[in-house]
Amino acid sequence: MENLDLFVLRTLLDWRRAGKATLLATVTRTWGSSPRPVGSIMALCEGGAVVGSVSGGCIEDDLIHRFRDVLADGPPQKTRYGVSADEAHRFGLPCGGTLELLLEFNPDAATLGELVERLSAGRMVLRSTDVATGRVTLTDIDQPEALREHDGALHNAFGPEYRLLMIGAGQLTEYLATMALFSGFSVTVCDPREEYRGAWQVPGVTLTTEMPDDVVREFRADRRTAIVALTHDPKLDDLALLEALETESFYIGAIGSRRNQMARHARLIEHFDQTEESLAKLRGPIGIYIGSKTPAEIAVSVMAEVLAVKNGVPLPRDLAVGPAKDQLDVTPNDAAAVCFVREET
């Protein structure tokens, strides 16, 4: 599954090229609790077909009811939902939740096509809509920007897909790749070991056979990239992680027990001139502690941590695998008693 914004824009482009009347809705402001964040988009086609989301579904239903048969050209409109308690209840918004939408009618197909082309090529684009006229301009940008209104225009940044690069093509990688795909990530798996690649079964993933450190170097990882080492083989994982630490990747981590993580840090410091400070971005043991034992459960744990970091959510220390297991290792009644636990994530 591709990035949701790109999927919405691509579908909207197909509708416009087919000559169909459409509407593009963007969440521009929220007050209190709201189901979807600012910048979320949805598209509506004549007849009522919808892609994307601006709420839990009730507002989409209202927009379909209002516009499915009366989509016509005209300047953008602003509309609010949930201003009163009755409306909040009617539209399924949380108590006190209010959101504002900008509705654009029949966006220009040529400009949409250019936007989709740039995003598909991995570029980050600022889409600026003149609120009075609906005229749209596109500007390439280098860094993500928050949605803003300025000088009579709504500026909404669209970036390339989030990417996940995984080292190792084992069973855990298959589960994690599947979860990453339906979370909107573009997924690449690197494994030079033929015996692991031969059993790979997840469609939609780029599978590469080069050495991991070379792949990381050529991947041009940016702030929308996560890199996870999953082979348990220092010859493959360590060099790839060293290359990853030189990038702006928002998440860099490696599978393994607490003991293995300590040994990895010691190797990288002793043989590769690293320091505890330079290794601060390296996560491990990766994941959040949910008592996971099976590959599927471990993948859930790791994906949850990746998404939390991506979304800027600070995780309590007790949820980290290492600290959680440290507490399990010593019983409350006897500080010298040790609980022997398996070292899975």
> Average pLDDT by consecutive 10-residue portion of the chain (345 residues)?
82 96 94 76 93 84 84 88 65 67 96 94 92 96 88 91 93 96 92 88 92 94 93 93 96 93 94 94 92 93 95 78 68 35 38
Task: Please identify which residue in the block is written with the tokens 């409109």.
Answer: 77
- Confidence (pLDDT) at 331: 42
Report how far residue 126's alpha carbon sits from residue 10's, in angstroms, rounded to the nearest whole number: 16
Which homologous superfamily does the CATH classification assign to the domain defined by 163-329? NAD(P)-binding Rossmann-like Domain (3.40.50.720)
In the prediction, which pLDDT does 72 show? 74
Which residue ranges make up each domain of the chain? 4-158, 163-329
Q: What gap in Å lies between CA 63 and CA 44, rounded to an integer?
A: 8
Torsion angle of C-alpha atoms 116, 118, 120, 126, degrees rounded to 10: -70
Cross-strand bridge partners of residue 50: 44
Ordered DSSP codes for 260-301? HHHHHHHHHHHHH---TTTTTTEE-S-SB-S---SHHHHHHH
What is the rounded CA–CA span in Å between residue 232 and residue 298? Answer: 15
Long-range contacts of range 50-57, CB-CB < 8 Å, 24 or more positions apart? 51/7, 51/8, 51/11, 51/12, 52/4, 52/5, 52/7, 52/8, 54/25, 54/26, 54/27, 54/99, 54/101, 55/81, 55/91, 55/92, 55/93, 55/99, 56/92, 57/92
Question: What HEC string does 100-163 produce?
Answer: EEEEEECCCHHHHHHHHHHHHCCCEEEEEEECCCCCEEEEEECCCCCCEEECCEEEEEECCCCE
pLDDT in the model for residue 230: 95
Helix, strand, coil content of the chain in percent (nearest 5): 35, 25, 40
Task: Compute the distance between CA of residue 310 and CA of residue 302 in angstroms, rounded to an integer.
Answer: 12
